[in-house]
Structure 1
Amino acid sequence: MGRYQPPDALAFPRFAGIRTFMRLPHVQSPEGVDVAVVGLPFDTGATFRVGARFGPEAIRSASVLLRPYHPFLRVNLFEHLSVVDAGDAPVAPGFIEDSLRRIAEFLTPWAAAGVILIGLGGDHSVLLGELRAVAAAYGPVALVQLDSHPDTWDAYFGHRYTHGTVVRRAIEEGLILPQRSIQVGLRGPIYGPEDWEAARALGLEIVTAGEARALGLEGTARRILQRVGDHPAFLSVDIDFFDPAYAPGTGTPEVGGFASWEGLTLLRGLIGLPLVGMDVVEVLPAYDPAGITALLAANVVYEVLALLAARRRDGLPAVALLGARPEGM
């Protein structure tokens, strides 16, 4: 049984207590921790709708409905994992480069201790701070990005740091291995063919939403696992991967996306993925009046926790070996 886990919902009601993810203990030291959930309440890297700074709070509130046993993977999360909510990383609203630095500094000690990081965004620009912390511990990682946009533009309004440029900046900084990275779910209107071709030119593999449907969920999961191999991986889920019918509360919605059951089924197919971190980003509560987007985001994190617990149950290390460096390093 993990050292840190939620209280028994049959002894302490779900609506009571301080609001943390899944009502986990709020702990600020990595000792005895396998996984830490961290809020990343920054949204002024967004180029359209803002409000994702309130995403971590909404996801935590929705997460109180989650229970410890995953019936599809047949695993109790907290029999195999010690999980905490580490609170929110400090940010400076309106100052993106400073906020990215603060996020990385906050997360680095956790990553260095071998703790798997789960970020609650925040707009997608927060990914750069997360990757800086993770790469400091593991070297460049494989990026698995579920998203309707590639986020590989070079600049917006003459500025190089936005939620739409974050993956290009991560590649330039040597934080991810493009040859082991994959983007799944791209769709919607674009400025021109170069928008997606630019991602391919950077070395990323792209599976558009249409291609993923043709491959099927099982085939898409297999393609992700083959691309990553046994390299330390970071999973980044932009909630706009899902169709706005299921996730209306997001910054840049695109129709023709995935149903909630499709996305969760795809995640379940990634069992064995050697994750060192993940995030779910772009949840905007102001555009989510029924709370369904936040609830879906909480369940995305739950699926990843189940993957990590199943990996531990099956006798695999929780993450790739600390200090290991991928090919080319």
Structure 2
Amino acid sequence: MDNVFHQPQGGNEMPRFGGRATMMRLPFIEDLQGLDAAFVGIPLDIGTSQRSGTRYGPRYIRTESVMIRPYNMATGAAPFESLSVADIGDVPINTYSLLKSVQIIEDYYTALNSFPLIPLTLGGTTPSPCRSCAP
């Protein structure tokens, strides 16, 4: 199977303020076959006792990422020319139970680990990166 190197949607195809909010305007993909890396959000903040709002982290990171170019102008690095990367959406957490949410996150990443890809996690509170980085 030939590798498909997904490219961010260009400004000529869709203005940066329009279209689906994905990380760096990469395509949203449900089929994980062939991906080298995948952006996945964890919209979680039910474990906080004060200053909630990190649940919006993945969405706002994606919103701000529309201005990132598909290459580095200083170094010339163009990762999307050699890596297949896409946005696979958010982990469907339980908004009422932190314990259930942590289990959902763990199960989600266990399933992701069955694919030879690197999950690139967006947002969430302290349990998010701790669980998502576990082997």
Name the TM-score, length of structure 2 as normaliser: 0.88
Give the conservation status (yes or no) of the 8 Å contact 2:5–2:81: no
SS in 1 for 2:133: helix
Aligned to 2:91: 89
Conservation of the 8 A alpha-carbon contact between 1:34 and 1:83: yes
The AA in structure 2 aligned to 1:13 is P
Preserved contact between residue 22 and residue 28 of structure 2 (Cα < 8 Å) = yes
Cα deviations by residue, 1:35-89 (Å, 9 ceiling, x for unpaired): 1101100101224311110111111111111111113443012111111110110
Specify which structure has the bigger relative contact order, considering alpha-carbon pairs within 8 angstroms and separated by 6 or more residues.
2
CA distance in 2, matches of 1:5, 1:104: 29
Inter-partner Cα distance in structure 2 for 1:108 and 1:21: 22
- 1:31 corresponds in structure 2 to 33
Q: Secondary structure at the match of 2:59?
A: helix
Corresponding position of 2:69 = 67
Cα separation, partners in 2 of 1:85 and 1:26, compared to 1, 3 Å: same
Q: Which residue of 1 aligns with 2:118?
A: 116
Residue 2 of structure 1: how far off its partner (Å): 4.7
1:78 aligns with 2:68: no
State the number of aligned residues: 133
Letter in 2 for 1:36: A
Deviations 1:188-208 (A, max 9, x none): xxxxxxxxxxxxxxxxxxxxx
Which amino acid is 1:7 matched to? Q
Mean alpha-carbon deviation: is it higher for 88-97 or for 8-17? 8-17
Q: Distance in 2 between matches of 1:113 and 1:49?
A: 36
One-letter amino acid matched to 2:11? A
**Contact preservation (8 Å) 1:2, 1:78:** no
2:29 is paired with a residue of what secondary structure? Answer: coil
SS at match of 1:75: coil
The runs of 5 or more residues in structure 1 that have no matched partner are: 136-329
Aligned to 1:22: 24
Aligned pair partner of 2:133 in 131, 134, 138 = 131
Q: Compute the TM-score of the two structures, normalised by the length of structure 1.
A: 0.38
The CA distance in 2 between the partners of 1:30 and 1:107, in whole Å, is: 13
Contact 1:100 1:128 in 2 (8 A): no
Spell out the pairing of 1:281-292 with structure 2 (5 A cutoff): none
Give the aligned partner of residue 245 of structure 1.
none
Match of 1:42 among 21, 41, 44: 44
SS in 2 for 1:58: helix
What is the identity percentage for the equivalent residue pairs of Structure 1 and Structure 2?
A: 35
Please state which structure has a larger fraction of its residues in helix. 1
Deviations 1:181-222 (A, max 9, x none): xxxxxxxxxxxxxxxxxxxxxxxxxxxxxxxxxxxxxxxxxx
Task: Please report the RMSD computed on the Cα atoms of aligned residues, expressed in angstroms.
Answer: 1.7
Q: Hey, what's the Cα distance between the residues in 1 that align with 2:28 and 2:17?
A: 17
**Matched residue type, 2:35:** V
Letter in 2 for 1:44: I
Structure 1 residue ranges (4+ consecutive) displaced by more than 6 angstroms after TM superposition? none
Structure ID, larger Rg: 1
